[in-house]
Amino acid sequence: MHPSRWRAASDEGSPMMLRYRGAILWGLVLGLAGCPRADRSGPDAAPEAAVSAASLPLEASAPAPVATRVGELLAIEDTRSIDQVTDTDLTSGDPAVRRAAVRALARAEHVGARDRLLASLADHDPDVVAWSAYGLGKICARDRERTTARLIARAMNLGLEPPSPTVRLDPWAALAGALGRCASPEAERTLVSWLSGPKERAVAATVGLGGVVTHHRRMEEETAAS
C-alpha cells in the first residue's frame, strides 16, 4: 500500500482507520462471546516472556532419548545456535522433538533458518505449524513476498474447524500474526478476507491487521525522523 494512504489513515476519523478499529472491536466481541480457543500461551498469543518451556510438555511415557533430545533443543534455543538443530530433529517421528526443534529455529530470529521454517510449515502437527509461522513472521522483512505467499498457501490447507482442546497452540493465530508482521499488500488483503470467515479465524485476523497498522505507522515515524 502506498505510504500516502497510510498517512491518511493516521487521521482519527479516516475510513481506513475506522475499518480496522471496527474489525478489532468485532474480534473482541466474538472472543467475549465464547468462541472456542486453543491454549493461548503460544506464539503470537501472548507477550514474548509468556512463551516458555511449558508449551513443550512431554508425555509421561516419552522414551528417554526423546526427553533427552528435547532438553538439548531447549538449551540450544537459549544459545540461538541454529546449526545445532538437525534435519533429523525436524523430521523426527516424535512430535515433541519436532516442536522443540522448530521452536529453537523460530526464536533464534535468524534468516538462516528460513528454508527449514518454510519446510516445517507443511508439518501435520498444529504446534509445529504455529512455531514455523511465528519464526517466519519474525524474519519476514528480508523476503517479504515469498514468505507471505507461503504463509497464505499453508493457511489455505489448514482446517477451518476450531482447534482441538488438546492443541496447545493455535496455528491460525500464529499465521495471522506472521502475516501481520509481513504487512505486505497481499498479507493485508488475506487478513481482511478472513474477517468474514469462521469466528476463530476472524479473531486471529483482527490481531494480524493490528500488526499491519503498527508496521506502517513505524515506517512513517522512521521516515519522518530521517
- The pLDDT value recorded for residue 61 is 54
pTM value?
Answer: 0.74
Task: Note whether 152 and 201 are within 8 A (CB).
Answer: no
Q: In the chain, pLDDT over 70 holds for what percent of residues? A: 69
- The rounded mean pLDDT for the chain is 79
pLDDT digits 0-9 by tens, 161-211: 656 666 678 899 999 999 999 999 999 999 999 999 888 899 999 999 999
Give me the residue spans of the domains in the chain.
Answer: 3-225
157 or 62, higher pLDDT: 157
> Residue 82 region, left (φ>0) first, then alpha (ψ -120 to 50), else beta?
alpha
Map residue 200 onto helix, strand or coil. Answer: helix
Q: Average pLDDT for residues 59-70, to the nearest whole number?
A: 76
Worst-scoring range by mean pLDDT, 39-43, 153-157, 215-219?
A: 39-43
pLDDT digits 0-9 by tens, 87-146: 999 999 999 999 999 999 999 999 999 999 999 999 999 999 999 999 999 999 989 999
Domain 3-225 has CATH 1.25.10.10: yes
- The pLDDT value recorded for residue 117 is 98
Q: Average pLDDT for residues 74-97, to the nearest whole number?
A: 95
- Contacts of 195-200 with CB under 8 Å at 24 or more apart are 195/23, 195/26, 197/160, 198/160, 198/161, 198/162, 199/30, 199/35, 200/35, 200/36, 200/37, 200/162, 200/163, 200/170, 200/172
11 or 139, higher pLDDT: 139
